[in-house]
Amino acid sequence: MKAKIFASIAVAITGAVLLYAVSDFPRFGDPRSPANAGVEGGSPSASLYYIENTYRDTKVPNLVTAILADYRGYDTMFETVVILTAGMSIFAILRVLRRDDAPGAPASAPDSSDHSIDGDHHRIIVATTCRIAAPLIQIFALYVVAHGHHSPGGGFQGGVMLGASFILLALSGSLRDTLVRFSEQQYLRLAFIGILIYAGFGFLPLWVGRNFLDYGALSGLLMTSGEEMARSHSMLGVEIGVAMTVMSIMFAIFANLSTRGRLHGGL
């Protein structure tokens, strides 16, 4: 009860601060707001710069991906960290780490919560279709990750699809079978490896004396023809890291929420 009161106070204060900040925003569609203005004080505004120079700078036709993963790389990196933090919070709050509840432990007692629908013959239709669909979903998700430069998509979207494919398997079959293929150890590891890949692409330019996340410096390392292609390729690497984190955290959140942190039984 006390925790609920504290949580309500925290939510109310945060909401009030956010509402207060809204009053400082430019009006919606205001042509003179910094984001929309073509020329501001003699120098072109940020949006105009991106529209005119993104392709020249990075050889990436999709402006959104270029801004997200390159120009605003810091932002995206910490967005990924936010997702990781959310997953870790749910893990910390929900996960029950008792020896007899470990997912690898032999199931001595029949799973009371793992009730099947009216016998197994109804379930086999859904389970079979999902088993056929899951690999196709995953292939498409990889395409979305890798094709984020040229079409809508990227690490977040592809990662969500990858996570959803595992959630689909867990929903249609059983969480236990899915955890055999994608264990807790694996997804926690992948979540952190994803962040490390992103941060690694940030730290490598420091090695040659450039700024953090300045991908252009990697042209020698990636053996590209110029700095533009190095930025393009580094964006792909960064997106892969984002996809790994998002996929793992999606599945971790589902597995913990659906089983109240026990990782067996559940939906």
Partner 1 sequence: MILTILSVILIVAGLVFFFGAAVGLMRFPDFYSRMHAAGKGDTLSTLLVISGFALYQIRGIHDLSHDWPVLLVVLKLLAIVVFIYLTSPTSTSALADAGWEDGIDPVIEPGRENHLEDDCRRKKTPTAQNPEPL
State in angstroms the smallest separation of the CB of 129 from partner 1: 4
State in angstroms the smallest separation of the CB of 127 from partner 1: 10
**Pick 100 or 118: Cβ nearer partner 1:** 118
State in angstroms the smallest separation of the CB of 126 from partner 1: 5
Residues binding partner 1 (CB under 8 A):
117-119, 122, 125-126, 129-130, 132-133, 136
**Pick 48 or 137: Cβ nearer partner 1:** 137
93-98 own/partner pairs: CB under 8 Å, 24+ apart: 93/261, 94/256, 94/257, 94/260, 94/261, 95/256, 95/261, 95/263, 96/260, 96/261, 96/262
Residue 195 tokens read as: 């962040």
Cross-strand partners of 39: 44
State in angstroms the smallest separation of the CB of 122 from partner 1: 5
Maximum alpha-carbon separation in the chain: 75
Listed residue (213, 198, 204, 207) closest to 72, CA to CA: 213
Say which residue the tokens 């207060």 belong to. Answer: 20
**Pick 131 or 189: Cβ nearer partner 1:** 131
**Pick 64 or 133: Cβ nearer partner 1:** 133
